[in-house]
Structure 1
Amino acid sequence: MSRYSDLKTRLSSVEILRLIKEEHSYEELSPLLGLSAPILSRYVKGHILPSLERSKRILEASMEQVSDLIRKKIRFEDERVFDHSAVIYNPNLLEKIGKLAFYEFGSIKVDKVLTVETDGIPLAAQVGREFNVSFVVAKNRKEMGIRDFIEVKRVFISGAYSYLFIPKGSIEQGEHVLIVDDAVRTGFTLETLLELCRRCGAKPAGIYTIICFEDTLRRLEQKLNCPVKVLVRI
């Protein structure tokens, strides 16, 4: 990693500590993170920065607490239907989720971020900001003013289908694309986004999502030839 990436990791670990500190006392966090309460306090208050190796350990150990925090904000209607608007439209929380995305994929090359409209856009914007790259939004219709598109057919479990479109040239051949989505229910949209990458001659760098069903995740991990990172598994 570059010095810049190393510094981002160290700063991100402090930001994540501040986030989970809102839900836990230093005494509660101490055994979870393997650090004393006074040391955690000094990090959270910005008196000192943790070392790079300690920052990585903090980020790894904090994943479960961040996942629990997100889970508390999800409102379930039934097993497969939920409202996560309190997550994706929370700028402070989304900023931290973007930092975790950079931690997960910051060691590999990412040239573009790709998502699908509409709820994936806030996450894609934040992740793109962390990687300092632009993001592309696949849409269900062709936009006026754009002449050429790449399109892929998206087929649903019911047999119904639709198309996803991105402007031709928005993803270039050979680029490494990180695919992000706020929530993955069936995985068919993700597979369509992967096909869009292939049609452009790009290389999927990985998949990052906030929420994913366990059965869908198992199927994707078996089928897809790229890393899949999920914050909350349902």
Structure 2
Amino acid sequence: MNRAEKAALQLQAVAVLRMLKETRTYEELSAVTGLPAGDLNRYVNGHVLPGADRASEVVEAVGRDALADELIARVSFDDEGYVDNSGVVFDQSFLDLVAPVAAETFSFESPDVILTAATDGITLGAAMASFFDARLAYAKKSKETAVEEFIESRQRLASGIELTYYLPARAIDAGDTVLVVDDLIRSGETQELLLDIALQADADITGVFTLIAVGDEGMERARAITDAPVGALTTFE
């Protein structure tokens, strides 16, 4: 870890602690983190930064649990099982906290490109791209008018509907490392198409990440395509 990466990790740990502190006393925060209340006071108020090891523990362990709980509180399901996660995907500050936690928890290698699908995946993709200092690319169900060359991936669904995604060919170069992200994985059909696009571009896949996994089908579908880490912040059965 170089000095810039260390500083970024320390600042992300402070951001996680500040989020937790909004609804807790320092004593309650100490019970959650296992850290002394006095140290937490100094971190939250910006007097000192936690060491790299302690920052890593906060981001990976405390951070993931806290963000997962916050995410669960923000999503809802209707009677047909459809997910309303607008309270998450429209909150860029929350997603900015998710990015380092995901990176630390699932040990994603730093990618050249974050690949997602329009439109709900874009805000998470932007947060991940900012954290990794990577390019953001998003596939769409329609072609851009002025773009001449596309990578195209299509699949006929069980319902008989054909699902197609297009990505401008210059968005990913051969040899790029690509992290596929999306706000939600259920069947895994969209993620399979995104992975196919990355493979068509002769890119190397560094992982698949989603905020919400509904069941195991989609996650297993992704794992069948890549040996890279596949992870979700939280899972609903």
Q: Which bracket does the TM-score occupy, shorter chain normalised?
A: over 0.9
Counterpart residue number, 1:233: 235
- The answer as to whether partners of 2:110 and 2:132 remain within 8 angstroms in 1 is no
CA distances 1:71-122 after superposition (whole Å, capped 9, x unpaired): 1011221473111101110122122122323434676231011000001111
Counterpart residue number, 2:204: 203
- The answer as to whether partners of 2:124 and 2:181 remain within 8 angstroms in 1 is yes
Shift in Å at residue 206 of structure 1?
A: 0.6
- The answer as to whether partners of 2:92 and 2:127 remain within 8 angstroms in 1 is no
Match runs of 1:127-146 below 5 Å: 127-146=128-147
Q: Which amino acid in structure 2 is aligned with residue 15 of structure 1?
A: A
- Measured in 2, the distance between the counterparts of 1:222 and 1:182 equals 17
TM-score by length of 1: 0.93
Match runs of 1:1-234 below 5 Å: 1-62=1-62, 63-78=64-79, 80-104=81-105, 108-216=109-217, 219-220=220-221, 222-223=223-224, 224-234=226-236
Q: Which amino acid in structure 2 is aligned with residue 41 of structure 1?
A: N
CA distances 1:7-61 after superposition (whole Å, capped 9, x unpaired): 1111111111111222333222222211122211211111110000001111122
Shift in Å at residue 218 of structure 1?
A: 5.2
Q: Which amino acid in structure 2 is aligned with residue 148 of structure 1?
A: E
- Measured in 2, the distance between the counterparts of 1:218 and 1:103 equals 19
- Measured in 1, the distance between the counterparts of 2:182 and 2:209 equals 7
* Secondary structure class of the residue paired with 1:164: strand
- Measured in 1, the distance between the counterparts of 2:73 and 2:174 equals 41
- Measured in 2, the distance between the counterparts of 1:113 and 1:17 equals 27
* Secondary structure class of the residue paired with 2:171: coil
- The answer as to whether partners of 2:129 and 2:135 remain within 8 angstroms in 1 is yes
Shift in Å at residue 230 of structure 1?
A: 1.1
Q: 1:45 to 1:216 in 2, by over 3 A?
A: farther
- Measured in 2, the distance between the counterparts of 1:17 and 1:159 equals 48
RMSD: 1.8
* Secondary structure class of the residue paired with 1:174: coil
Q: 1:163 to 1:217 in 2, by over 3 A?
A: closer
- The answer as to whether partners of 1:20 and 1:66 remain within 8 angstroms in 2 is no
Shift in Å at residue 219 of structure 1?
A: 1.9
* Secondary structure class of the residue paired with 2:73: helix
Moved more, 149-158 or 203-212: 149-158
Question: Structure 1 stretches (4+) deviating beyond 4 angstroms?
Answer: 104-107
Moved more, 73-82 or 45-54: 73-82
Q: 1:61 to 1:105 in 2, by over 3 A?
A: closer
Q: Which amino acid in structure 1 is aligned with residue 47 of structure 2?
A: H
Unmatched 5+ residue regions in structure 2? none
Shift in Å at residue 221 of structure 1?
A: 6.3
Q: Which amino acid in structure 1 is aligned with residue 17 of structure 2?
A: L
Q: 1:210 to 1:45 in 2, by over 3 A?
A: same
- The answer as to whether partners of 2:211 and 2:232 remain within 8 angstroms in 1 is yes
Unmatched 5+ residue regions in structure 1? none
